Amino acid sequence: MKNRLKVLRAERDWSQQDLATRLEVSRQSVNAIETGRYDPSLPLAFRIADVFGLAIEDIFLRGE
């Protein structure tokens, strides 16, 4: 699943580690989600949405 994590992170000038700290996950997790190698669970997707102050569908895109 595609997502806008990298763009949203760049807009806020956050490193992957910064985002990982906010989400209380590992940097590897952020990297895997960002590059589309891992789709987060619904609870983690909601946490990501909360951190960015956006809706889930504004971050994760439908399709491959």
Partner 1 sequence: MSGTSRPWLLTSPGRWVALYFFSVVIIAALKLTGAIESPVGFILLAAATCLLLPLARRRSDGCISRAMADYNRRIVFSSLGYVLGLGIAVTLWNSYELSDALVFAISLLPTVPTFGIIWAMARYLAEEQDEYLRHRMIMAALVALGVVLAIGIFYGFLEMFELVPHIWAWWVLPVWAIGLGLAQLWQKVRGS
- Under the criterion CB under 8 A, does residue 29 sit at the interface with partner 1? yes
Nearer to partner 1, 2 or 17 (CB): 17
Nearer to partner 1, 28 or 57 (CB): 28
Q: Which one among 1, 26, 46, 55 touches partner 1, defined by CB under 8 A?
A: 26
Q: How many other C-beta atoms can be found within 10 angstroms of the C-beta atom of residue 44?
A: 16
Alpha helix ranges (H) inside the chain: 5-11, 16-23, 27-34, 42-52
Within 8 A by CB and 6+ apart from 11, the residues are none
Q: Which residues bind partner 1 (CB under 8 A)?
A: 17, 24-29, 31-33, 37-38, 40-41, 44
